[in-house]
Amino acid sequence: MYSLSYVKPKSLKDAAAFLAKNPEAKLLSGGMTLIPTLKARLARPTHIVDIAGLKELRGVAAKGGKLVVGAGTRHHDVASSTVVRKAIPALAGLAAEIGDPQVRNRGTIGGSLANNDPAADYPAAVLGLAATVVTTQRSIAADDYFQGLFATALREGEVIVRVEFPLPKRAAYSKFHHPASGYAMAGVFVAQAANGARVAVTGAGPGVFRWKAAESALAKSFKPEALEGLALDSSNFNNDIHADREYRANLVRVMAKRAVAKLAGRK
């Protein structure tokens, strides 16, 4: 790790103010990505601004037909929340499958979204559920928020405050774990809402994306068979020592079908 300064602001406002003055400072939440990155000397921030203790960023609530999750809420808290389990069980299930118990007890939803790892789980839920990312400056629709490999719509100094999930009729997530890292080699989040179905895919490509052909097919018939033989553009899928594009495309199809199958019989 390079030498750096550690700052612990007392409020979100203080944190945002500090970031505005220090463009090379980095927010530290759960630290599940940042700390290893620092240890490997792959990042060299001037400061780390520790917001992990800010209570205003934590917590879960269901109100006004929405599920609201504070940016500093840990994966374990989402996974074990009775509110989340009741409102969107698929989201609790997704959180329960992130990393390992150590990661789930440190990592936060805001951290995951700000980092936007192409194999992270939360982006699939946020995009699949058409959630809104609320920051210190504005509200960003999921469709605008994710911008490819580790890229988001966040501006410098902008801090995620909470995520607002509209409640779907039903939703499911199916994930195939990367054999080495445990991240999603392909994770597919399927949601059915009043205005149609959404299918969001993580792990397979350079960033989370919607499989629109699947969405149209499911709008007509919400059954696994509806996904048979659908077009899936895998030209930009990851192709590495672990799996080639063809295999990842297969995983997307299989995980999508399994997610839909999980919902069979559920309203």
Partner 1 sequence: MSAKAHHNHGPVGRVEDARLVTGAGTFAADWNVPGQLHGTFVRSDRAHAEIVAVDTGRALKHPGVKAVITGADAVRAGYVKPMHTLTFPGKGGMQTRAPERPVLAHGGVHFVGEAVALVVAETAEAAQDAAELVEIKYRDLPAVVSPEEALATGAPQLHENVPGNLALEVEVGDAAAVEAALARAAHVTRLKVEVTRVAPNPMEPRAYIASYDARADSYTLHVCCQGITTLRRHLSAYTGVPEEKLNFEVGDVGGGFGQRTPAYPEHGALMLAAKQTGRPVRWVSTRSEGIACDTHGRANVINGALALDREGRFTAMRLDWVNDMGAYLSPASMGHIRNTTTCMTGVYRIPALYATYRVALTSTNPVSSYRGAGRPDIAYTVERLVSQAAAELKMDAAELRRRNFIPPEAFPYKTPTGSTYESADLPGLLEKALKLADWKGYAKRRAQTEKAGKLRGIGIATVIENTGAGQAAKDEVELELDAAGNLTVYTMAKSQGHGHETTFATIVADALGVPFERVHLKQCAPEKQHRLQGNHTGGSRSTVGAGSVCHLAAQKLIEHGRAAAALDLGVEPSQVEYADGAYRSKESKRTFRLGDLARSKPVSVVAEGKFGSTFPNGCHIAEVEIDPGTGAAEIASYAAVDDLGVVINHGVVEGQLHGGVAMGAGQIFGEHVVYDRGSGQLLTGSFMDYYMPRAGLVPAIRGAEHPTASKVSPLGVKGVGESGCTGSLPAVANAVMDALAPLGVGHIDMPLTPARIWHAMQDARKGR
Interface residues toward partner 1, by CB under 8 A: 1-3, 40-41, 176, 179-181, 183, 241-244, 246-247, 250-251, 254, 258
Report the candidate in 29, 25, 18 with the shortest Cα–Cα distance to residue 51: 29
Nearer to partner 1, 5 or 11 (CB): 5
Strands 47-50 and 60-63: unpaired
Q: Report the C-alpha gap between 188 and 82 in whole angstroms.
A: 23
Smallest distance, partner 1 to C-beta of residue 116, A: 17
Choose between 58 and 175: whose C-beta lies nearer to partner 1. Answer: 175
Q: How far is the CB of 246 from partner 1 (least distance, A)?
A: 8
Distance of CA 172 to the CA centre of its chain: 14
Sheet holding 160-166, edge to edge: 60-63, 66-70, 160-166, 132-135, 139-141
Distance of alpha carbon 265 from alpha carbon 214, whole angstroms: 20
| Nearer CB in complex with partner 1: 148/182 | 182
**What are 62's two structure tokens?**
């269901």
18 or 247: CB nearest partner 1: 247
For the bound state, the minimum distance from the C-beta of residue 251 to partner 1, rounded and expressed in Å, comes to 6
Tokens 């995009």 belong to which residue?
127
Q: Whole-number minimum distance, CB 237 to partner 1, in Å?
A: 13
CA distance 146 to 149: 9
CA distance 204 to 166: 25
Compute the least distance from the CB of residue 186 to partner 1, in Å. Answer: 9
Assigned token pair, 92: 């609790």
Q: Is the dihedral of CA 104, 95, 124, 86 positive or negative?
A: negative
- Closest CB to partner 1 among residues 30, 72: 30
Nearer to partner 1, 142 or 255 (CB): 255
Closer to partner 1 by Cβ: residue 96 or 254? 254
Write down the least CB distance from residue 82 to partner 1, Å.
27
Q: Which of 260, 122, 255 is nearest to 183 (CA)?
A: 122
- What is the closest distance, in whole angstroms, from the C-beta atom of residue 243 to partner 1 in the complex? 4
